[in-house]
């Protein structure tokens, strides 16, 4: 059809298009600043090439280990949940995504303590077999284990969506062509889901590269810890920017993988008809094993670390004023960040319909680690702090900058559900509103926005969860003494006050759990063509 070329309500208004351009520009500005800072910044010897090499090697190894760890465990869980029936499957289907509520550093605190020389696991093992088992979590493999446990849900969710969305017809075709269910999975479903799994792995690796709190606590020096150290220890923005360049390069590659994987989804949804997926009933030990596997994943990703932190927290009186203050700041930042990000993402979604350039630019921001984003904002931050006199105004400017950093980083994440929501809106709906006497603005208010409302809420929740968990960017950009829950946890943890650190860490988990449950259940029930 020739709809795209018509003067219809679908063609964005000029000011909407301008808004989209502005939003994309906002997302890309810090990245440009990083590049400029790296190229033109004053050379200094804060970090030797050998050191940078070690950071890069650690990051690469960690990324590779997490890719394998989170990739296999997440994809296997998705396959079990989508294609089989076993006890607890309905609950586990959405519960498996819950570890997204726990920041990786919370897991690191819990596991480092559990597997400490004097910790419960190794003490028990020593009593049992007489010698110490050197299960040191403060190592690269240890960090890989922790991050895999934290990030497998990214793979689980994308792989599950791929298995669920389109393979029904193809699977049935494979069955009629003589394949057993298992063969159909291996020969049809898995190859079809491979791009999606790659996309999920890319997301998990992005998070791995962006992580600061967990690896720093586990004493693994990565590029991201290097960025934070270069700034906070050596005070060298140029060095931080140079390290950031490496991370940006990696992010661009990962983004490419993720986008290509997403493209692959196109050939999935061939049939819009809703049908029950042909699932395989597991019985006996197989069923038990499936349930056990999924439970184990959930336990390692959330229940065990959160439980251990709760146990530790019980042993300490929380410093309530600090904790409550940090909680208020975290929630305030989260809600403000969500509102601003969703607004910008909506501009992008409504204004960039038809054109993909702006959204591509914004997604570059999403692949960028928070620490890098913060480094890009250091120059404007410095200008702001010197230009705005007075503590209160300075605080406001600093908070605004933080919100900007969150929005620049998370715009693409918010864009996704909004775009999906707008897909429900056929162009003729807007035209129908016009022929029923509504102006263009009226059609947007009475038809487009109400239909997209659920999607906007989803986008807001996604941003809220990510802001609550964000650490390195906040560490770099926050105004002096402006502690969020994550910063507070990091402060306690670096002083080895783990019981105290458990309080803010658990607060984040609790605050993030509600939106994550809402989101996860939402994804679990939505299938293309499914009756709403």
Partner 1 sequence: MSALSVENARRAYGAKVAVDGASLRLEPGRIACLLGPSGCGKSTLLRLIAGLERLDGGVVRDGERVLSGPGVHLPPELRDVGFVFQDYALFPHLTVEANVAFGLKDLPGRERRARALAQLERVRLADRAGAYPQTLSGGEQQRVALARALAREPRAVLLDEPFSGLDGRLKAEVRDATLSALRGTGAAALIVTHDAEEALHMADDLALMQAGRILQTGSPRDCYLRPVSMDAARLLGEANAVHVEVSAGAARTAFGTVPAPGVPDGRAVLMARPEAFRLDPAGRPATVRSARFGGARTEVVLTAGDAQAHAHVPSRDAPQAGQTVSVTLDESLCTVFPA
Looking at the Cβ atoms of 315 and 437, the one nearer to partner 1 is 437
Looking at the Cβ atoms of 7 and 314, the one nearer to partner 1 is 7
Looking at the Cβ atoms of 263 and 446, the one nearer to partner 1 is 446
Of 85, 198, 84, 225, which is closest to residue 143 (Cα–Cα)?
225
Q: Does 182 bind partner 1 (CB under 8 A)?
A: no
Q: Does 273 bind partner 1 (CB under 8 A)?
A: no
Which one of residues 437, 480, 481, 496 is an interface residue with partner 1 (CB under 8 A)? 437
First to last CA, the chain: 28
Q: Does 456 bind partner 1 (CB under 8 A)?
A: no
Interaction residues for partner 1, span 393-432 (CB under 8 A): 424, 426, 428-429, 431-432
Looking at the Cβ atoms of 357 and 426, the one nearer to partner 1 is 426
Q: How many residues bind partner 1 (CB under 8 A)?
A: 27
Q: Does 439 bind partner 1 (CB under 8 A)?
A: yes
Which one of residues 219, 438, 517, 528 is an interface residue with partner 1 (CB under 8 A)? 438
Closest approach of partner 1 to the CB of residue 435, in Å: 4
Tokens of 153: 């849900």
Which one of residues 187, 262, 360, 434 is an interface residue with partner 1 (CB under 8 A)? 434
Q: Does 446 bind partner 1 (CB under 8 A)?
A: yes
Of 526, 87, 504, 93, which is closest to residue 309 (Cα–Cα)?
504
Question: Distance between CA 523 and CA 224 in Å, rounded?
Answer: 31
* Contacting residues for 395 by C-beta, under 8 A, at least 6 apart: 479, 482
Closest approach of partner 1 to the CB of residue 444, in Å: 13
Q: Does 442 bind partner 1 (CB under 8 A)?
A: yes
Interior CA angle at 511 toward 349 and 476, to 5°? 70
Q: Does 270 bind partner 1 (CB under 8 A)?
A: no
Of 202, 163, 150, which is closest to residue 79 (Cα–Cα)?
163
Q: Does 451 bind partner 1 (CB under 8 A)?
A: yes
Q: Does 8 bind partner 1 (CB under 8 A)?
A: yes
Question: Distance between CA 136 and CA 117 in Å, rounded?
Answer: 8
Instruction: Using alpha carbons, list the distances in angstroms from residue 322 to 31, 483, 503, 504.
Output: 34, 8, 11, 10
Q: Does 526 bind partner 1 (CB under 8 A)?
A: no
Q: How far is CA 379 from the centre of its chain?
A: 26
* Contacting residues for 1 by C-beta, under 8 A, at least 6 apart: none
Question: Distance between CA 485 and CA 326 in Å, rounded?
Answer: 5
Q: Does 6 bind partner 1 (CB under 8 A)?
A: yes
**Interaction site with partner 1 (CB under 8 A):** 2, 5-8, 424, 426, 428-429, 431-440, 442, 446-447, 450-451, 453, 531-532
């Amino acid at each position: 059809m020739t709809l795209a070329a018509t003067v219809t309500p679908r063609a964005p208004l000029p000011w909407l298009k301008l808004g989209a351009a502005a939003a994309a520009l906002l997302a890309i500005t810090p990245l440009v600043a990083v590049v400029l800072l790296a190229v033109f910044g004053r050379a200094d010897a804060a970090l030797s090439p050998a050191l940078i090499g070690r950071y890069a090697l650690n990051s690469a190894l960690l990324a590779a280990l997490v890719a394998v760890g989170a990739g296999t465990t997440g994809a296997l869980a998705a396959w079990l949940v989508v294609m089989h029936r076993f006890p607890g499957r309905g609950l586990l289907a959405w519960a498996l995504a819950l570890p997204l509520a726990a920041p990786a550093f919370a897991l690191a605190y819990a596991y480092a303590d559990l597997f400490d020389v004097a910790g419960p696991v190794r003490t028990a093992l020593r009593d049992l077999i007489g010698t110490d088992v050197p299960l040191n979590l403060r190592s690269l493999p240890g960090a890989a284990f922790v991050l895999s446990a934290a990030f497998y849900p990214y793979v689980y969710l994308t792989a599950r969506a791929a298995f669920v969305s389109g393979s029904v017809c193809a699977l049935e075709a494979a069955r009629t062509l003589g394949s057993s269910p298992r063969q159909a999975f291996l020969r049809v479903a898995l190859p079809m889901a491979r791009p999606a799994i790659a996309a999920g792995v890319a997301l998990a690796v992005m998070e791995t590269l962006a992580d600061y709190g967990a690896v720093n606590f586990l004493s693994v020096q990565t590029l991201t810890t290097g960025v934070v150290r270069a700034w906070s220890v050596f005070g060298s923005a140029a060095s931080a920017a140079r390290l950031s360049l490496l991370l940006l390069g990696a992010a661009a590659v990962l983004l490419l993988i993720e986008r290509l994987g997403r493209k692959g989804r196109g050939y999935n949804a061939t049939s819009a008809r809703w049908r029950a997926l042909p699932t395989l009933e597991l019985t006996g030990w197989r069923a038990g094993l499936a349930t056990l596997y999924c439970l184990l994943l959930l336990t390692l990703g959330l229940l065990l670390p959160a439980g251990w932190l709760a146990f530790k927290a019980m042993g300490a009186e929380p410093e309530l004023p600090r904790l409550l203050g940090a909680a208020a700041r975290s929630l305030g930042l989260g809600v403000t960040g969500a509102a601003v990000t969703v607004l910008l993402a909506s501009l992008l979604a409504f204004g960039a319909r038809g054109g993909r350039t702006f959204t591509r630019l914004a997604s570059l921001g999403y692949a960028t680690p928070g620490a890098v984003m913060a480094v890009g904002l250091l120059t404007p931050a410095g200008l702001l702090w010197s230009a705005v006199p007075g503590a209160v105004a300075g605080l406001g400017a600093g908070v605004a900058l933080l919100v900007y950093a969150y929005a620049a980083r998370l715009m693409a994440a918010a864009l996704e559900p909004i775009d999906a929501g707008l897909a429900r809106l056929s162009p003729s709906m807007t035209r129908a509103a016009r022929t029923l006497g509504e102006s263009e603005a009226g059609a947007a208010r009475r038809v487009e926005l109400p239909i997209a409302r659920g999607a906007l809420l989803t986008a807001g929740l996604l941003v809220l969860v990510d802001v609550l968990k964000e650490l390195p960017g906040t560490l770099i950009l926050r105004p002096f003494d402006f502690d969020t829950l994550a910063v507070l946890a990091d402060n306690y943890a670096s002083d080895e006050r783990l019981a105290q650190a458990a309080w803010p860490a658990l607060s984040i988990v609790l605050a993030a759990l509600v939106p994550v449950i809402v989101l996860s259940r939402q994804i679990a029930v939505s299938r293309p063509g499914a009756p709403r």
